[in-house]
């Protein structure tokens, strides 16, 4: 879990749980919002990593 | 029953007391207001995130007015309330800048504090009958 990917996934998990609980009231809506946010954070992080990969700095 | 407790509009003094409790212990404001499910989610998740930040060797930043970014990070850290004070009292959060996870640890600590500030604002809205 101390790898870059592991830390990012753990971070996304915590942030998704808290925002889902804050932004939605119904449990079903919280699950949907939380899963979408988690996927967006992890997917966005991986995509940004690949986009930045060719940069020389 | 929980909704009825949350729907009640409270006096300003009680509202600020709820906000103080919500800052001191993540989720305490929501538990006070009868929103137990949310309260327990915050009570478990935020201190766990803060503990992960310490485990990843992040730093609890000191207040240094000469370094505005450090002071802002310290302000975010203190948003965590009692867990922050306990960690400071136990001399945790010294940070190890050469650790591979140092910046991740900082992000966990800072974001945990900022998220708790959002939770305090949410508790304020609920106490005011806005949510």
pLDDT digits (tens, 9 = 90+) for B72-100: 999 999 999 999 999 999 999 999 999 98
pLDDT per residue as tens digits for the range B29-38: 999 999 999 9
Residues 64-123 of B with CB under 8 A from A: 100-101, 104, 107-108, 111-112, 115, 118-119, 122
Q: Which two tokens stand for residue B45?
A: 């998740």
- Split into its structural domains, chain B has a count of 1
Structural domain boundaries, residue B49: 2-127
Which own/partner pairs from B40-46 qualify as long-range (CB within 8 Å, at least 24 positions apart)?
B41/A17, B41/A18, B41/A21, B42/A18, B42/A21, B42/B116, B42/B119, B45/A14, B45/A17, B45/A18, B45/A21, B46/A14, B46/A18, B46/B80, B46/B83, B46/B112, B46/B115, B46/B116, B46/B119
Of A2, A18, A27, the CB nearest to B56: A2
């Amino acid at each position: 879990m101390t790898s870059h990917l592991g830390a990012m996934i753990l971070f996304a998990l915590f942030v998704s749980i808290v925002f889902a609980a804050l932004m939605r009231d119904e449990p079903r809506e919280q699950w949907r919002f939380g899963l979408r946010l988690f996927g967006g954070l992890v997917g966005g992080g991986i995509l940004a990593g690949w986009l930045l990969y060719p940069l020389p700095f | 029953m929980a909704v009825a407790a949350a729907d009640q509009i409270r006096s300003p003094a009680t509202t600020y007391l709820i906000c103080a409790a919500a800052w001191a212990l993540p989720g305490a404001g929501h538990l006070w207001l009868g929103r137990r499910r949310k309260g327990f989610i915050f009570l478990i998740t935020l201190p766990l995130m803060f503990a992960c930040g310490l485990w990843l060797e992040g730093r609890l930043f000191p207040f240094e007015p000469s370094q505005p970014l450090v002071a802002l990070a310290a302000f975010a850290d203190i948003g965590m309330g009692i867990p922050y004070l306990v960690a400071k009292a136990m001399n945790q959060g010294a940070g190890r800048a050469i650790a591979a996870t140092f910046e991740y640890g900082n992000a966990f600590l800072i974001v945990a504090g900022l998220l708790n500030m959002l939770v305090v604002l949410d508790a304020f809205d609920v106490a005011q009958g806005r949510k």
